[in-house]
Chain A
Amino acid sequence: MAELLKVGIADYKTGKAPSKIISYGLGSCIGITLYDKIAKIGGLVHIMLPDSTQARATENPAKFANTGIPLLLKEVLALGAIKSRLVAKLAGGSQMFKFAGASDIMSIGLRNAELAKKTLTECNIKIVGEDLGGTYGRTVEIDLETGLYKIKTINKGEKII
């Protein structure tokens, strides 16, 4: 059965082909996918903050890049994916509002992207596609049949990585 699995903010889902996993309306958040194309198993985590060590509320690991990625990795491996075959794609990390003298919080998308990539590298997972930055929102969807990652925007069209 082809299912459409929905991922909320600070949330993750894993699955097998022919299912798809979607997450709506990412701003500064990042949707990171892991995919094994032989087993056709993958997952998507929607992180909102870079670093759990700098936050006060850390009970939900899917909220942070540095804890969400290892969590997703563990879950796709538990589903039968093979670590050496896993590849990662990332999308999101935009800056929705531009302020004069942008504060720390306004560049959160950038920091999310940096730490997500660093964490993937530390986990020895190859990044094969990314669509990061900008000033617009994205809806992301991975097709677990093909591993293609579709990125929809309102004014910037659609993109597949």
Chain B
Amino acid sequence: MLNLSAMQLDAIREIGNVGAGNSATALSQLINKKIDMDVPSVSVVPLADVPELVGGPDTMVAGIFLRVYGKAPGSVLFLMPKESAFYLVEHLLGEPKNSDGELDEMDQSALMEIGNILAGAYLNALSYYTKLTLLPSIPAMAVDMAGAILNVVIVQLGQMGDHALVIETQFLSEDDGINGHFFLIPDSGSLQTILNAVGVK
């Protein structure tokens, strides 16, 4: 199990803050609305509790998932309620959506592009801050139960241990249309690399 000092937690929170701030700006420019974000929460949670962070394992969400390659590999996951996904698609593609409907291929492709931009913005900030080169993979997306989507990330962590370090930031748009959770989940070992890079022992 991971033991982090108060100073290390602070450093990680700051890293999350810089990354998420960059992402929030990108998102705000995309939809031309003000986006608020929370101070990132950093927590080490048992794997089984991760789905609870987004409202329980059978909550329906849209998830965009990317792997991070480079010196500090990990995963990035952007989760939002289905309504937020529809809202984003509406604002991007400029056509109203019936929120009972399905996301078609075009919609999913638009959302993946958003995931790409957000993750890119996040990783850019992180790269700048740590001087580590971090590159996102092609995004993948699914609209399904939160637990099932989180499985993908949890499984990778599960090979290493029973706890996950989750850096989570919540986004909220000015008209409450979007409410999303951004997760950065470093692979085991990557956290140490990041902490070393910013000079926190």
A residues neighboring B (CB under 8 Å)? 8-11, 24-29, 48-49, 54-57, 59-60, 63, 94, 96-100, 105-106, 108, 135-139, 152, 154-155
Contact B147 A105 (CB under 8 A): no
Question: Beyond A96-B148, A97-B141, is A9–B47 a contact (Cβ under 8 Å)?
Answer: yes
The 4 closest A-B pairs by CB, nearest first: A25-B147, A137-B148, A27-B151, A25-B57
Contact B138 A137 (CB under 8 A): no
Chain A binding site: helix, strand, loop or mixed by DSSP? loop
Residue of B nearest to A25 (CB): B147
Question: Beyond A29-B151, A154-B60, is A135–B142 a contact (Cβ under 8 Å)?
Answer: yes
Contact A59 B151 (CB under 8 A): no
Q: Chain A residues near B143: list those with CB within 8 A.
A: 154
Residue of B nearest to A136 (CB): B144
New contact pairs (20) apart from A48-B151, A55-B160, A137-B151, CB-CB < 8 Å: A8-B48, A9-B48, A10-B47, A10-B48, A10-B158, A24-B145, A25-B151, A26-B151, A27-B144, A27-B147, A27-B150, A28-B151, A29-B151, A29-B155, A48-B155, A48-B158, A57-B161, A108-B155, A137-B58, A154-B60
Residue among A10, A27, A139 making CB contact with B162, cutoff 8 Å: A10
Chain B binding site: helix, strand, loop or mixed by DSSP? mixed
Q: Chain B residues near A98: list those with CB within 8 A.
A: 140
Residue of B nearest to A98 (CB): B140
B residues neighboring A (CB under 8 Å)? 47-49, 51, 56-58, 60, 65, 102, 137-138, 140-152, 154-156, 158-162
Contact A56 B159 (CB under 8 A): yes
Residue among B47, B145, B161 making CB contact with A139, cutoff 8 Å: B145
Q: Chain A residues near B162: list those with CB within 8 A.
A: 10, 57, 59-60, 63
Question: Beyond A8-B48, A137-B145, A139-B145, is A97–B140 a contact (Cβ under 8 Å)?
Answer: yes
Bound-complex Cα distance A105 to B137 (A): 14
Q: Chain B residues near A60: list those with CB within 8 A.
A: 162
List 26 A–B pairs whose Cβ atoms lie within 8 Å, in order of A's numbering: A9-B48, A9-B147, A9-B151, A9-B154, A10-B158, A24-B51, A25-B56, A25-B147, A25-B150, A27-B144, A27-B150, A28-B152, A48-B154, A48-B158, A49-B155, A49-B159, A63-B162, A94-B148, A96-B151, A99-B137, A99-B140, A100-B138, A136-B144, A137-B145, A138-B145, A139-B58
Contact B145 A97 (CB under 8 A): no
Residue of A nearest to B144 (CB): A137
Question: Beyond A11-B48, A59-B162, A105-B155, is A27–B148 a contact (Cβ under 8 Å)?
Answer: yes
Bound-complex Cα distance A28 to B142 (A): 13
Bound-complex Cα distance A157 to B34 (A): 38
Contact B156 A105 (CB under 8 A): yes
Contact A24 B147 (CB under 8 A): yes
Residue of B nearest to A135 (CB): B142
Residue of A nearest to B75 (CB): A105
Question: Beyond A9-B48, A11-B48, is A154–B144 a contact (Cβ under 8 Å)?
Answer: yes
Q: Chain A residues near B151: list those with CB within 8 A.
A: 9, 25-29, 48, 96, 137
Residue among B49, B60, B138, B148 making CB contact with A26, cutoff 8 Å: B148
Contact B158 A96 (CB under 8 A): no
